[in-house]
Amino acid sequence: MKVKAKLKNGVIKVKAMAKHEMSTFNMMEKKTGDRENANFIFHLTGTVNGETVFDMSTSQFLSKNPIFKFQFKADGFKKGDKLLMSWTDRKGKTGKGKGKIK
C-alpha cells in the first residue's frame, strides 16, 4: 500500500492507495461462475505512534486499487513520524504500507 502524508498548519493530509482487485460478487459470478470468489477489502486502519487516526469498513463497491484521501489533526504528531496503514480483505489477507509525515 502506498501512503503519502503531509503536515501543514497543524493538519496532516493523507493520500493512500491500496493495490487490490476489489472484485464484486456479480463480477466473479460472471468470470468464474462462483460468487464466493469475490474478494475485496473489508477493513482499513491508519495509525501514527500507536494512535488510531483512521478507521474505515469498506464494501466491494470501492474502485479497483482504491484511493483514500483523508485528513487529521497533528496534535502531538510531527514531521518524520510514520503513518502506518493496513487492510484486511474478505479472504483474510492483509496488506500494509507506511509513509513518513513530511
Partner 1 sequence: MERRNFLNVTLGALALAAVPASVNAEDYRKTRPAVWSAHTVDDAIKAMYGSTDLVMEGVSLTAPKVASNGGAIPVDFSCDKDIKSIAVFQDANPEAAVCAITTNKYSINKYSIKIKMGKSGAITVVAEGTDGKLYAAKQSLDVALGGCEG
For residue 52 the three cell numbers come to: 488510531
Amino acid at 7: L
What is the x/- site pattern for partner 1, positions 11-50, by CB under 8 A? x----------xxxxxx--xx----------xx-x-----
CB 102 within 8 A of CB 13: no
Quick one: how far is CA 26 from the chain centroid? 23
Q: Does 9 bind partner 1 (CB under 8 A)?
A: no
Among positions 72, 85, 87, 99, the unique one binding partner 1 when judged by CB under 8 A? 72
Whole-angstrom CA distances from 58 to 2, 24, 69 are 18, 12, 14
Number of residues that bind partner 1 (CB under 8 A): 35
Positions that interact with partner 1 (CB under 8 A): 11, 22-27, 30-31, 42-43, 45, 51-64, 66-73, 75
